[in-house]
């Protein structure tokens, strides 16, 4: 067999295409429409050419954004809704077992700065949801920040009926309430479950008990320089 | 409320806490029982393919309202991904839709590749697409059999189990795993195809086409089947879209939308083959089943064409051995057997993803059940559930 | 051969009444489980797995033929679980009532000329239709007594279905009765032996030739009475999880199982007698004493044929919905049978 392409020829191509396509006109037009509608309520945006448009709106404009997307932008398809906890995990990667702690003591973790993703973010909790237009083939991802002292947002259920379950899941996993939701109750968890599992400060119980062998077990492959992989791994902790 | 800091409490209490959480595997529903009869369909019930519980309030045989209660199998994958490196995550997400496991891996891998800015070699892309379609065939052929079992024609089920073996054997020949291949890698595939596989797969595709004809004769064309499914569980397209229905469920409502054709992510080669997206205008149980049947036929055609045009070359791009994904966010969705499955990955430049939102198809597909099951009869609930086709692992991630 | 003739002769003339009765009761008691076993093994295990392209049981006995016996022993060993809130008396009695109705059906099935039938009632077929409806009571009791919503729904579905399908079944039978001019089962067989379509030439023709629509209606009604697919809503596995049987274990479940298959056999026998000529083989003299010998074999062959049809439908068709089943009975089967009844009556008068 004659190789038509190889790994060496592929990688530069991918790099070149990334540099060559810095903008995406369709998504920019879409962003312009959203910005024109909401003005100051749009507090951040990001375009990944050929992929998605991220628009961060204020919390007050959250439901209006959905309504605008559905009725003005024809985004009739509701994809998903969820949340992100931007707080850096206090447990790191949860690789320490109780045995390790007993022997070496509790490791001091330097407090990492809180970072945020595309379209920015100011607070710890951020809602995000994606809608899409099946007829016009465009879609966008909305984000909104939630202040720490009032974890609530307007529900999307009046606009997209399918947001019901997604909001119930977000409510129980992050503790974010949705005003106007028909009935926020537990979806996955038992009703007397304490805590919000997807928050970063909720410990992953199994990992607290037993170390995960995979993550510490980074050994150099035979014939490879020992410092190459392992050093990089350790430096990142 | 409040989070338990388990690092502070002794070992024995921790285990007790975990055991209590595990034993408390119940989901309480605030559900009035003043009028009518409340019927618990599930958690252990043949129609729920696992442990989904559906609480239905009945008036005679008629369903006044019904409410699915998932969660008996929630495994917390979104949390678990946060403590696993990117290559380790594929082991987990194999178990989401366990009948089409390979298809689960692909969108995650593609999202990671997108963030890293690498692309698999063409041969890997072709093999990926072939395996993707093979898992679709394996998955939906079992759907067709299960549809028969749910509606009382158990023979179709046995035919499905028999003929699915041909496809599973082909998947096993490449990946070594029948259900959980864990074969996809960031930047390519674990291995190349074994010798003679292409010819064998073509034979298997012939058999699957024969299976489709058999199912059409035995089940889809059957008058009783049509009486049970036509006009039952009608979902209008706008309602379906608002509920986030995808895949054959929304195509059965007449929406001509297929991610393979309309939003094919880089790394799959659907644009290189000639195939058709089938839709059905009715939106009822029959339409959904029929669209799925056609989907299997189209998938066999896609596999045949890809097998003919598969290029040579390596199956793995050059990727660093320790995979660190640059900071960024990506959402990649593919048209999985059950519908749109996507992974929203938030990376902070670490070995592990910072947050993974798993958008699974069945979660949205089943959320429409309360809407569509109002006023139908109890047997129709079974038809509707069977035709919506959910895999429990796909609801309870 | 001659020994058997001697036994039959002895049955007829020499033995006292109580001895004849005892032998007949023993035969019936033996027939019910045996026929259920035969149908279970041949159709449920062998034909079904053949149709579904799988092997079926292979281990117990030669080619797995003893699997059902092993299953029966397993059922006998199981714990007899009665739900806490069940109506204990009704719960215990229900399977027996169902089984008794099956036993009573066997009473009037003629395996040959007169002495080869347990009770050659003058109103045999009337009796059969009456006792076959008895099982509804048992099913309804089982459904109610189990204290289970699925069982209750199954029981009520079964009641509605069995009542709805009594009517087309009776009407289908009435067509045969009109043509034969008798309610006696052996009389119907003899009538078919003497029935000639064109004048007095040729062999006796079974009533299926003239009563084909009635035969098909009888088959459908029989399928519904037996609660087999496509009419198995009372026990629908994917909906009601076996319906009224859901709380039964061990030998009580075995009773239901035996009753289901033995009733299938009995109905197969009734269908053979009514429409296929029973123990009579066309071309032979109906008064021949040979029918004491070959009659049971002929009848058995015909029963297996009818059972094959029943189980063929069972393994092929999906399940109807309850309201569709009622619609089928009241809107199609009953009108068609009424029309054919009128046609039969007219021909009977004219000819």
CB A61 within 8 A of CB A38: yes
pLDDT of A228 higher than 50: no
User: In Å, how far are A220, B134, B212 from B137, measured between CA atoms?
Assistant: 39, 5, 10
Alpha-carbon gap: B165 to the closest alpha carbon of chain A (Å) = 31
Q: Quick one: DSSP state of residue A108? A: P
For C84-106, the pLDDT digits (tens) are 878 888 888 888 888 888 888 88
**More confident of the two residues C24 and B235:** B235
Give percent of chain A with pLDDT exceeding 70.
67
Alpha-carbon gap: B192 to the closest alpha carbon of chain C (Å) = 34
pLDDT of A231 higher than 50: no
Which residues of chain A make contact with B125, given a CB cutoff of 8 A?
Answer: none
Closest CA to C36 of C267, C333, C348, C342: C267
CB A159 within 8 A of CB B369: no
Beta bridge partners of A130: A80, A141
Alpha helices, H only, chain C: 2-13, 17-39, 48-51, 67-77, 88-107, 124-132, 134-145, 149-180, 185-194, 212-225, 237-240, 250-275, 291-316, 322-327, 334-350
What is the average pLDDT across B308-333?
Answer: 84
User: Given this model, what pLDDT does residue A34 score?
Assistant: 79
User: Given this model, what pLDDT does residue C279 score?
Assistant: 81
Give percent of chain C with pLDDT exceeding 70.
91
Lowest mean pLDDT across A195-204, B155-164, B199-208 = A195-204
Give percent of chain A with pLDDT exceeding 90.
0
Non-local CB neighbours of A17 within 8 Å, separated by 6+ positions: none
Nearest CB to B37; choose among C149, C319, C324: C149
Q: Where are the domains of chain A?
A: 25-30+37-97+116-205
Packing angle, helices C149-180 and C334-350, rounded to 10: 10
Which domains can be identified in chain B, with CATH numbers? 40-394 (1.10.645.10)
User: Given this model, what pLDDT does residue C224 score?
Assistant: 87
Q: Across the interface, do C239 and B228 touch by the CB < 8 Å criterion?
A: no
CB pairs below 8 Å between A and B: how many? 215
CB A194 within 8 A of CB B6: no
Average pLDDT, chain B: 82
Which residues of chain B make contact with A183, given a CB cutoff of 8 A?
Answer: 30
Which residues of chain C make contact with B150, given a CB cutoff of 8 A?
Answer: 238
In the structure, what pLDDT confidence band is assigned to residue A213 with cuts at 50, 70 and 90? low
C77 CB-contact burial (10 Å; exposed 0-12 / middle 13-18 / buried 19+): exposed
Give dist(CA C74, CA C79) in Å, integer.
Answer: 10
**Does residue C238 sit at the B interface (CB-CB below 8 Å)?**
yes
User: Given this model, what pLDDT does residue B25 score?
Assistant: 39
**Does residue C327 sit at the B interface (CB-CB below 8 Å)?**
no
Chains that touch A (3 or more CB pairs under 8 A): B
In chain A, positions 198-237, which contact chain B (CB-CB < 8 Å)?
A: 198-199, 201-209, 212, 214-215, 218, 221, 224, 228-229, 232-233, 236
Please, do chains C and A touch (3+ CB pairs < 8 Å)?
no
Buried b (16+ CB within 10 A) or exposed e, C278-298: bbbbeeeebeeeebbbebeeb
Nearest CB to B262; choose among A137, A161, A185: A137
**More confident of the two residues B103 and A50:** B103
Closest chain B residue to A67 measured between Cα atoms?
B242
CB A49 within 8 A of CB A22: yes
**More confident of the two residues B47 and B364:** B364
In chain B, positions 261-280, which contact chain A (CB-CB < 8 Å)?
A: 262-263
In chain A, positions 38-57, which contact chain B (CB-CB < 8 Å)?
A: 48, 51-52, 54
End-to-end, the C-alpha distance of chain A in Å comes to 44
CB B337 within 8 A of CB B296: no
**Best residue of B269, B342, B357, B388 to probe chain A, by most A CBs closer than 10 Å:** B357
Do strands A177-179 and A152-154 pair parallel, antiparallel, or not at all (unpaired)?
A: parallel
pLDDT of B16 higher than 70: no
Average pLDDT, chain C: 82
Chains that touch B (3 or more CB pairs under 8 A): A, C
Non-local CB neighbours of B66 within 8 Å, separated by 6+ positions: B41, B54, B55, B56, B57, B369, B370, B373, B374, B381
Please, do chains A and B touch (3+ CB pairs < 8 Å)?
yes
Alpha-carbon gap: B194 to the closest alpha carbon of chain C (Å) = 30
CB B381 within 8 A of CB B41: yes
Closest CA to A56 of A65, A48, B359: A65
Q: What is the DSSP string of B274-314?
A: -------SS-SHHHHHHHHHHHHHHHHHHHHHHHHHPPPS-
For C283-322, the pLDDT digits (tens) are 677 677 767 777 788 888 888 888 898 888 888 888 888 8
Q: Where are the domains of chain C?
A: 3-338
CB C266 within 8 A of CB C106: yes
pLDDT of A21 higher than 60: no
Which residues of chain A make contact with B119, given a CB cutoff of 8 A?
Answer: 10, 13-14
**Does residue A115 sit at the B interface (CB-CB below 8 Å)?**
yes
Global confidence as pTM = 0.81
Beta bridge partners of B53: B69
Which residues of chain B make contact with A185, given a CB cutoff of 8 A?
Answer: 29-30
Alpha-carbon gap: A146 to the closest alpha carbon of chain B (Å) = 17
Q: What is the DSSP string of A179-222?
A: ET-S----SSS-TT--S-TTSTTS--HHHHHS--HHHH---PPT
Which residues of chain C make contact with B380, given a CB cutoff of 8 A?
Answer: 321
Non-local CB neighbours of C339 within 8 Å, separated by 6+ positions: none
User: In Å, how far are A139, C42, C49, C70, C260 from C57, measured between CA atoms?
Assistant: 56, 11, 9, 11, 21
Per the listing, tokens 């069995």 go with: C162
Phi, then psi, of A223 in degrees rounded to 5: 85, 0
Q: Quick one: DSSP state of residue B176? A: S
What is the average pLDDT across C129-144?
Answer: 87
Q: What is the DSSP string of C224-265?
A: HHTT-TTS-GGG-HHHHTTGGGTT--HHHHHHHHHHHHHHHH
Nearest CB to B363; choose among A95, A134, A165: A165
pLDDT of A172 higher than 60: yes
Q: Across the interface, do C324 and B227 touch by the CB < 8 Å criterion?
A: yes
Q: Which helix (H) or strand (E) is B335 found in, with range?
A: strand B328-336
CB C258 within 8 A of CB C102: yes
Sheet holding B62-69: strands in order across? Answer: B37-41, B53-59, B62-69
pLDDT of A112 higher than 50: yes
**Does residue A148 sit at the B interface (CB-CB below 8 Å)?**
no
User: Given this model, what pLDDT does residue B35 score?
Assistant: 60
For C118-130, the pLDDT digits (tens) are 777 788 888 888 8
Which residues of chain B make contact with A191, given a CB cutoff of 8 A?
Answer: 27-28
**Does residue A80 sit at the B interface (CB-CB below 8 Å)?**
yes
Nearest CB to A10; choose among B317, B346, B355: B317
For C327-341, the pLDDT digits (tens) are 888 888 889 989 988
Beta bridge partners of A46: A54
CB C72 within 8 A of CB C232: no
End-to-end, the C-alpha distance of chain B in Å comes to 24
In the structure, what pLDDT confidence band is assigned to residue A98 with cuts at 50, 70 and 90? low
What is the average pLDDT across A118-129?
Answer: 82
**Does residue B257 sit at the A interface (CB-CB below 8 Å)?**
yes
For B211-224, the pLDDT digits (tens) are 999 888 888 888 88
Give dist(CA B169, CA B181) in Å, integer.
Answer: 12
Q: Across the interface, do B6 and A89 touch by the CB < 8 Å criterion?
A: no
Q: Across the interface, do A48 and B330 touch by the CB < 8 Å criterion?
A: yes
In chain B, positions 183-212, which contact chain A (CB-CB < 8 Å)?
A: none
Q: What architecture is domain A25-30+37-97+116-205?
A: 2-Layer Sandwich (3.30)
Give dist(CA C280, CA C272) in Å, integer.
Answer: 10
Give percent of chain B with pLDDT exceeding 90.
3
In chain B, positions 47-66, which contact chain A (CB-CB < 8 Å)?
A: none
For A51-63, the pLDDT digits (tens) are 788 888 888 888 8
Give me C167's structure tokens.
């009517």
Closest chain B residue to A158 measured between Cα atoms?
B242
Lowest mean pLDDT across B171-180, B378-387, C8-17, C78-87 = C8-17
**Does residue C331 sit at the B interface (CB-CB below 8 Å)?**
no
Which residues of chain B make contact with A115, given a CB cutoff of 8 A?
Answer: 327, 348
Which residues of chain A make contact with B27, given a CB cutoff of 8 A?
Answer: 186, 188-191
**Best residue of A187, A203, A228, A237 to probe chain B, by most B CBs closer than 10 Å:** A187
pLDDT of B194 higher than 80: yes
**Does residue B316 sit at the A interface (CB-CB below 8 Å)?**
yes
Q: Across the interface, do C320 and B224 touch by the CB < 8 Å criterion?
A: yes
pLDDT of A2 higher than 50: no
Long-range contacts, stretch C194-203, CB < 8 angstroms, 24+ apart = C194/C286, C203/C282, C203/C283
Which residues of chain B make contact with A93, given a CB cutoff of 8 A?
Answer: 83, 350-352
User: In Å, how far are A175, B98, B112, B191, C345 from B188, measured between CA atoms?
Assistant: 39, 22, 12, 9, 79
ipTM computed for the complex: 0.81
What is the average pLDDT across B353-358?
Answer: 88
What is the average pLDDT across B111-133?
Answer: 88
CB atoms < 10 A from the CB of A183, how many?
9
Give percent of chain B with pLDDT exceeding 70.
91
Lowest mean pLDDT across A11-15, B246-250, B349-353 = A11-15
**Does residue A89 sit at the B interface (CB-CB below 8 Å)?**
yes
Which residues of chain C make contact with B382, given a CB cutoff of 8 A?
Answer: 238-239
CB atoms < 10 A from the CB of A43, how many?
18
Nearest CB to A162; choose among B24, B312, B367: B367
Q: Across the interface, do B153 and C322 touch by the CB < 8 Å criterion?
A: no
What is the average pLDDT across A167-180?
Answer: 88
User: Given this model, what pLDDT does residue B291 score?
Assistant: 92
End-to-end, the C-alpha distance of chain C in Å comes to 42
Nearest CB to C237; choose among B39, B46, B228: B46
pLDDT of C141 higher than 60: yes
Per the listing, tokens 């309520």 go with: A41
For B22-44, the pLDDT digits (tens) are 444 333 333 334 566 777 787 77
């Amino acid at each position: 067999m004659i190789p038509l392409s190889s790994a060496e020829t592929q990688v530069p191509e991918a790099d070149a295409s990334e540099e060559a396509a810095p903008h995406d006109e369709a998504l920019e037009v879409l962003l312009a429409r959203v910005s024109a509608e909401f003005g100051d309520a749009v507090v951040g945006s990001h375009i990944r050419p050929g992929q998605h448009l991220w628009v961060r709106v204020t919390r007050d404009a959250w439901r209006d954004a959905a309504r605008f997307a559905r009725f003005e932008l024809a985004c009739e398809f509701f994809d998903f809704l969820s949340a992100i906890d931007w707080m850096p995990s206090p447990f790191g990667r949860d690789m320490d077992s109780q045995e390790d702690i007993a022997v070496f003591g509790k490791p001091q973790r330097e407090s990492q700065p809180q970072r945020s993703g595309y379209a920015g973010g100011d607070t710890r909790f951020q809602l995000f949801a994606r809608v899409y237009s099946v007829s016009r083939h465009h879609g966008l991802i909305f984000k909104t920040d939630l202040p720490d002292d009032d974890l609530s947002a307007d529900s999307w259920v009046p606009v997209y009926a399918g947001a019901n379950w997604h909001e119930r899941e977000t409510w129980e996993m992050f503790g974010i309430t949705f005003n106007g939701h028909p009935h926020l109750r537990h979806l996955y968890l038992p009703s007397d479950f304490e805590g919000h599992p997807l928050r970063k400060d909720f410990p992953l119980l199994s990992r607290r008990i037993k170390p995960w062998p995979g993550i510490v077990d980074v050994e150099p492959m035979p014939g490879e320089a020992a410092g190459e992989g392992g050093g990089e791994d350790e430096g990142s902790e | 409320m409040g989070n338990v800091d388990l690092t502070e409490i002794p070992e024995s209490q921790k285990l007790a806490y975990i055991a209590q959480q595990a034993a408390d595997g119940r989901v309480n529903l605030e559900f009035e029982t003043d009028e009518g009869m409340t019927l618990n369909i599930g958690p252990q019930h043949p129609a729920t393919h696992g442990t989904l519980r559906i609480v239905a309030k009945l008036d005679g045989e008629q369903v006044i309202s019904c409410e699915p209660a998932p969660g008996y199998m929630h495994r917390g994958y979104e949390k678990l991904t946060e403590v696993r490196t990117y290559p380790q995550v594929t082991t987990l997400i194999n178990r989401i839709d366990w009948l089409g496991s390979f298809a689960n891996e692909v969108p995650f891998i593609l999202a990671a590749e997108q963030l890293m800015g690498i692309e698999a070699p063409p041969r890997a892309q072709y093999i990926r697409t072939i395996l993707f379609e093979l898992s679709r065939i394996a998955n939906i052929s079992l759907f067709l059999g299960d549809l028969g079992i749910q509606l009382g024609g158990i023979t179709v089920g046995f035919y499905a189990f028999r003929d699915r073996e041909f496809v599973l054997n082909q998947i096993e020949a490449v990946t070594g795993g029948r259900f959980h291949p864990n074969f996809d890698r960031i930047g390519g595939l674990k291995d190349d195809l074994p010798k003679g596989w292409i010819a064998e797969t073509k034979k298997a595709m012939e058999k699957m086409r024969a299976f489709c004809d058999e199912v059409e004769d035995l089940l889809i064309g059957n008058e009783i089947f049509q009486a049970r499914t036509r006009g039952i569980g009608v979902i209008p397209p706008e309602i379906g879209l608002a509920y986030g229905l995808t895949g054959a469920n929304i195509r059965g409502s007449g929406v001509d939308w297929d991610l393979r054709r309309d939003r094919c992510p880089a790394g799959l080669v659907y644009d290189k083959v000639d195939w058709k997206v089938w839709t059905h205008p009715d939106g009822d149980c029959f339409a959904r089943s029929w669209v799925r049947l056609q989907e299997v036929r189209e998938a066999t055609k896609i596999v045949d064409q890809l097998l003919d045009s598969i290029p040579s070359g390596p199956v793995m791009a050059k990727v660093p051995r320790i995979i660190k994904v640059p900071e960024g966010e990506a959402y990649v969705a593919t048209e999985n057997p059950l519908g749109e499955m996507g992974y929203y990955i938030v990376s902070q430049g670490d070995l592990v993803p910072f947050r993974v939102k798993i958008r699974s198809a069945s979660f949205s597909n089943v959320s429409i059940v309360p809407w569509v099951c109002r006023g139908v009869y109890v047997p129709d609930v079974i038809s509707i559930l069977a035709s919506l086709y959910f895999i429990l692992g796909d609801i309870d991630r | 051969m001659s020994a058997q003739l001697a036994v039959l002769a002895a049955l007829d003339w020499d033995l006292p009444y109580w001895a004849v009765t005892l032998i007949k009761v023993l035969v019936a008691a033996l027939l019910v489980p045996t026929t259920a076993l035969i149908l279970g093994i041949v159709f449920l295990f062998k034909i079904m797995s053949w149709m579904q392209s799988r092997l079926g049981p292979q281990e117990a006995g030669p080619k797995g033929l003893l699997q059902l016996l092993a299953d029966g022993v397993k059922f006998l060993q199981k714990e007899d679980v009665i739900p806490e809130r069940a109506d204990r008396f009704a719960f215990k009695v229900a399977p027996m009532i169902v089984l008794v109705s099956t036993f009573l059906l066997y009473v009037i099935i003629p395996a040959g000329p007169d002495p080869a039938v347990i009770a050659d009632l003058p109103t045999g077929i009337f009796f059969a239709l009456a006792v076959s409806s008895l099982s509804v009571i048992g099913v309804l009791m089982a459904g109610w007594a189990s204290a289970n919503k699925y069982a209750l729904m199954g029981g009520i579905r079964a009641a509605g279905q069995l009542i709805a399908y009594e009517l087309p079944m009776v009407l289908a039978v009435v067509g045969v009765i009109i043509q034969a001019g008798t309610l006696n089962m052996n009389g119907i067989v003899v009538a078919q032996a003497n029935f000639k379509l064109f004048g007095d030439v040729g062999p006796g023709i079974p009533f299926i030739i003239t009563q084909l629509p009635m035969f098909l209606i009888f088959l459908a009604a029989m399928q519904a009475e037996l609660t087999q697919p496509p009419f198995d809503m009372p026990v629908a596995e994917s909906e009601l999880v076996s319906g009224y049987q859901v709380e039964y274990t061990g030998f009580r479940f075995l009773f239901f199982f035996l009753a289901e298959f033995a009733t299938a056999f009995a109905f197969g026998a009734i269908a053979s007698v009514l429409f296929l000529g029973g123990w009579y083989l066309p071309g032979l003299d109906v008064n021949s004493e040979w029918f004491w010998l070959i009659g049971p074999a002929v009848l058995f062959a015909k029963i297996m044929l009818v059972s094959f049809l029943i189980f063929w439908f069972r393994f092929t068709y999906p399940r109807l919905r309850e309201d569709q089943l009622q619609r089928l009975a009241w809107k199609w089967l009953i009108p068609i049978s009424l029309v054919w009844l009128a046609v039969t009556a007219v021909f009977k008068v004219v000819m």
